[in-house]
Amino acid sequence: MTKDFLVLIVDDNVNNIFALKLLLTKLPGIKILEATSGEDALLQCIEFNVHLILLDVQMPKMNGYETARHLQMMERTRTIPIVFLTAHLRSEAFIQEGYALGAVDYLTKPIDDNLLLNRVRHYQHLHDRETNLWEKTRELQSTTDQLQNTLNRLKQTQAQLIQSEKLAALGRIVAVVAHELNTPIGNCLTVATTLDEKNQVFENIVKSGEPLKRGQMLDYLEQTHQAMNIISRGLGRAGELVENFKKISVDQESDSKKQFDLKTLVDNTMTLLLLSDKESRWKMTISIPSAIILNSYPETLEQILAILFDNAVTHGFEGKTQGHIRIKAKTDDQRVALSFSDDGCGMSEETQQRIFDPFFTTRLGKGNNGLGMSICYNLTEGILGGHISINSQPAQGTTVTLEVPLVAPEFAAV
Ligand SMILES: Nc1ncnc2c1ncn2[C@@H]1O[C@H](COP(=O)(O)OP(=O)(O)OP(=O)(O)O)[C@@H](O)[C@H]1O
Ligand SMILES: [Mg+2]
């Protein structure tokens, strides 16, 4: 260490102080302070950062022990090591008293030079190591503080990112909802306005008292009929969309928890779904062991299967004349993993990343809203208390796996 080791020599005899001082100059890195009385020693200890005291025991007025007692009473000076210098070691009790007052050593006069130098060097080393340790601790503390700050900043950034991602997702949802609803509502508005104009014309003819021809009457009725048709189809479509949007938020009330056999449920559901395939283009293989009993929500599971089937057919088998769907299940005594695979066109990495986002679809404007997989996600994670995952490669087909507990939670988690 580069800092000086400060030694205070306390002796009422200036000759002794001089001799000790001379001796200690042999040691590098030592700085000496002098005091000729106990009182003076206390003052110096308060004023300077003393590292070691060589304290004469026999002094007039305040002797070494009294001085040590006062040093003990003050926080700042309590831990300074003291080496008592005494003409003789009178008794065991005498020595003990010194140690009780914080002495770390006794040296008897006449002082053995080498012994003293060794002792002082020893305390100097101890002090150096302590200072070193203290500085290391401070460095460590400052590194820890920096790490903590970095961590806090990271957390803040992460929270901001999550927030902006949520806002962006909300923005996308609002844009799609607005766009989807805008088309049927806009159509209805246009037709209603046109109809109103035609009514106006019709009203004017009636008011004018001109005779109303049969052809005019029939024309008017035909146009009204067509307009009403467009309006009711548009409103019907808007209503349907709102119904679909509502499905994104999980509604548990429609299904109640009960016991059912997984294989039976899957067999029955898929048989019904396959009925829509009149040309028998899709092959179905179901490999589910019998007697996997779930205490869960059967209609929810049926709804998920219907969505996965619809996706396999609409997206996986799009443009194909044949396709194979495989449904498998395996279980331990807590959970069941149900996988639904098709050997269709698969999907890109980007589609997989966004597949659970509400309103994400690759068939925009072709009758799809991009709600199926987000509904599956909410139903699986929220009602069944499980987890849904996708494994797909372009041209390799798609596997959707549901991992659900055999006993579903009582209350929806979302
Ligand atoms: N089995 C599959 N094979 C290939 N692509 C799929 C499959 N399932 C889903 N996808 C892709 O994931 C997208 C999102 O599917 P999701 O079911 O959420 O919406 P959608 O089917 O497009 O619309 P909706 O279900 O509302 O009619 C699809 O548009 C499609 O690109
Ligand atoms: Mg779908």
**Residues 6 or more apart from 145 whose CB is under 8 A from it?**
none
Residue by residue, pLDDT tens for the chain (414 residues) are 447 899 999 999 999 999 999 999 999 999 999 999 999 999 999 999 999 999 999 899 899 999 999 999 999 899 999 999 987 766 676 777 777 776 778 888 888 999 999 999 999 999 999 899 999 999 999 999 999 999 998 888 888 887 777 777 777 777 777 888 888 899 999 999 999 998 998 888 888 888 888 888 888 899 999 999 999 999 998 888 887 777 666 555 667 899 999 999 999 999 999 988 888 899 999 999 999 999 999 999 999 999 999 999 999 999 999 999 999 999 998 999 999 999 999 999 999 999 998 889 999 878 888 989 999 998 999 899 999 999 999 999 999 999 999 999 986 544
Residue 364 to residue 386: CA distance in whole angstroms? 29
Using CA positions, which residue lies closest to atom 28 of ligand 1? 361
Closest ligand, as measured to the CA of 362: 1
Q: Which bound ligand lies closest to the C-alpha atom of 247?
A: 1
Tell me, in angstroms, the distance from the centre of ligand 2 to residue 112's CA.
Answer: 96
Say how many Å lie between the CA of residue 373 and the centre of ligand 1: 7
**Residues in the ligand 1 pocket, defined by CB under 6 Å:** 311-312, 314-316, 342, 344-345, 347, 351, 355, 360-363, 368-374, 398
Q: Rounded to an integer, what distance in angstroms lies between the CA atom of residue 379 and that of residue 358?
A: 13
Instruction: Give the closest residue (by CA) to ligand 1 atom 3.
Output: 316
- Ligand 1 atom 23 nearest Cα: 370
Q: From the CA of 179, how far away is ligand 2's center (Å)?
A: 19
Q: If you measure from the C-alpha of residue 283 to the centroid of ligand 1, how many angstroms do you get, rounded to a whole number?
A: 20
Q: Hey, whose CA ends up nearest to atom 25 of ligand 1? A: 372
Kindly give the distance from the C-alpha atom of residue 208 to the centroid of ligand 2, in angstroms, as a whole number.
57
* Beta partners for residue 10, in sequence order: 35, 55
**Nearest ligand to the CA atom of 312:** 1
Q: Tokens 């299940």 belong to which residue?
A: 329
